[in-house]
A = this chain, B = another copy of it.
């Protein structure tokens, strides 16, 4: 600060202190006021805020990408379709050729886009957590299949367990800026694929009443899961009316081949009433073109094939346009989830979903860093805020993830919730109304007022509704920080994690119902009662 600014600053601090002592209660009262939860509709940030103020692709770029996609679907198509898939697709108008590839006429693709489900709700077990997936409404959530849990106290990676999934779900249950919970880790303590799929889902739906996403290894694993979900919903009809679980489905092995097992899962989920996240996870420079535009083209082409597939089986079944390309570090071929290229790639995918007016989901918030550090902060911040500003409907992987999806960290989940609050506040943008333009306020303060805005009616009013405050983020002055023993954000997150995990045992699934599930599935349920609050 210049000397003039320093003087101004000192004067302001005096004025602020003065205001504080004059206003009834002062700083402590305002702190208490902040601690009280706000009504949902006046909170500074919330699920479903509208993005769209950023977009790396111009309209003409989007049209060219679309045109390239149609060309590829007509001429290259997909390999490795399973018989049921070939049957459904050819019946719908796709062409199965001698070279074993199935190709898609433009009319079929365009017709599918026109008729596909859009503007639908992804439900929570608790309707407060329902997400209307529409336009440029933004929701942040977890995802992934990390094989490690990051132990920040020991600074080491250990294998992830089913208890970790349940713990992550319980944390997410109380983190306002994480709107859905797709399973972020695989339970390495449950090697059997059927038991792994079943327990992953069980840990998720018992841990949180928010919308859950999960995977299945093979078609046969869907049935027991459906039985559990129908039971929790109080009947199949209830689940079909408000499906609170979606299936994250890697139906494609990029470039342009069907994943046979995943196709079986897809068919079973559509049949059972589970919404599908059509996930194309190519990696630019490895399984997708290194050119960012080309990676978008391939991802869009692949997901449109999935959309044709779902709609061929069941017209209008809810499906998420999951163009989800990753990025390679081209020096090594390894994935780089925290890269800048990832940020623009994901944002471009958000725009392509909007181009088709389809519900879009893609990945951001990944980082290459192994621990919650400054690198993970900026990599997560940049990718997550750009995805939100681009109006991506569902930002997967947005919290907790490290090491380019190989490690998940519970402390990061808590810190990232703050960061996502920042992102949402950025997505909310700037209100420009006569009142907000503040001509009268400025005039009054300058001409008749105290020369500052500290006690101004406008300031007090906007404090709660327009400004976002972090929960664990630190805004102390260096002096306060020093006096308080130089607190560390990671230490605060560790303490908060331990507090929540010791106290929060969600009971949205009543114990009686859980007893019934345990009676029905017996040994199949591996998460011990002791880990669920007894």
Contacts and interface: CB of A to CB of B under 8 A. Distances in A.
Contacts of A344: 425-426, 429-430
Contact of A453 (B285, B456, B466): B285
Nearest to A370: B481
A425 to B, nearest CB: 3
A377 B339 CA distance: 14
A452 interface: yes
A432 B256 CA distance: 21
Contact of A291 (B329, B379, B458): B458
Contacts of A422: 339-340, 343, 378-379, 382
A339 B423 CA distance: 10
Given A76-B446, A478-B370, A481-B370, A454 B333 contact: yes
A447 interface: yes
Given A341-B425, A422-B382, A446 B255 contact: yes
A34 B331 contact: yes
Specify which of A57, A466, A467 lies most central, judged by the most chain B CB atoms within 10 Å of its CB.
A467
Specify which of A34, A54, A438 lies most central, judged by the most chain B CB atoms within 10 Å of its CB.
A438
Given A1-B145, A286-B454, A490-B373, A54 B406 contact: no
A442 B145 contact: no
Contacts of A403: 477-478, 481
B489 A453 contact: no
B436 A157 contact: no
A437 B297 contact: yes
A287 interface: yes
Contacts of A488: 371, 373
A415 interface: yes
A13 interface: yes
A478 B407 contact: yes
Contacts of A1: 145, 250, 281, 405
A445 B76 CA distance: 10
A467 B330 contact: yes
A458 B27 CA distance: 60
Contact of A432 (B57, B287, B290): B57
A254 to B, nearest CB: 8
A131 interface: no
Interface in A377-410: 377-382, 385-386, 389, 403-407
Contacts of A503: none
A459 B344 CA distance: 18
Number of copies: 2
A125 interface: no
A426 B340 contact: yes
A24 interface: no
B474 A430 contact: no
A215 interface: yes
B419 A290 contact: no
A428 to B, nearest CB: 8
Given A293-B437, A452-B286, A453-B287, A2 B215 contact: yes
B439 A71 contact: yes
Interface in A52-91: 53-58, 61, 64-65, 68, 71-72, 75-76, 79
A289 B458 contact: yes
A463 interface: yes
Contact of A381 (B71, B371, B378, B469): B378
Contacts of A236: none
Given A289-B459, A403-B477, 7 more contacts: A4-B250, A16-B333, A290-B456, A297-B437, A341-B425, A369-B473, A381-B382
